[in-house]
Amino acid sequence: MIGRLNHVAIAVPDLEAAAATYRDTLGARVSAPQAEPDHGVTVVFVELPNTKIELLHPLGDNSPIAGFLAKSPAGGIHHICYEVEDILAARDRLQAQGARVLGDGEPKIGAHGKPVLFLHPKDFCGSLIELEQV
């Protein structure tokens, strides 16, 4: 059901410093910051030949990333995103197997302009999983 790895998301306390590390120290191509108010984050994408790294920073006081950084002030891996062909079919199949979809269970538009869903980490080896329709 899952396809390619789309990205690994890392929550960071300082988006500009993290972007500079990937750009200047590691020599990666780094996008401009992009505010995603529906998700409470500002993101930067690090483009790699085979996938992307998404750097996440809180946008607003109610950001889920603010809570993550309160527990892990230095930042860290927040979620892993896999591609799926049909997000509604994937959701229905996962729910039928007992997996929990976070939020109201309906896809939202993600940073790439495509529908996304998040799956409860307790159902996936302690990792928050994002599904993105391709």
- Please tell me the total count of domains within the chain: 1
> What sign does the dihedral 8-100-111-61 (CA atoms) show?
negative
Question: Which CATH number fits the domain that encloses residue 104?
Answer: 3.10.180.10
Report d(CA 31, CA 47) in Å as an integer: 8
Residue 114: closest CA among 89, 86, 91, 93: 86
Residue span of the structural domain in which 124 resides: 5-133
* Element spanning 36, H or E: strand 34-36
Could you list the active site residues? 130
Give the tokens for residue 2.
């899952």
Give the tokens for residue 69.
């950084």
Q: What is the pLDDT along the chain (134 residues), one digit of tens a residue?
A: 899 999 999 999 999 999 999 999 999 999 999 999 989 999 999 999 999 999 999 998 889 999 999 999 999 999 999 999 999 999 999 999 999 999 999 999 999 999 999 999 999 999 999 999 99
pTM for this prediction: 0.94
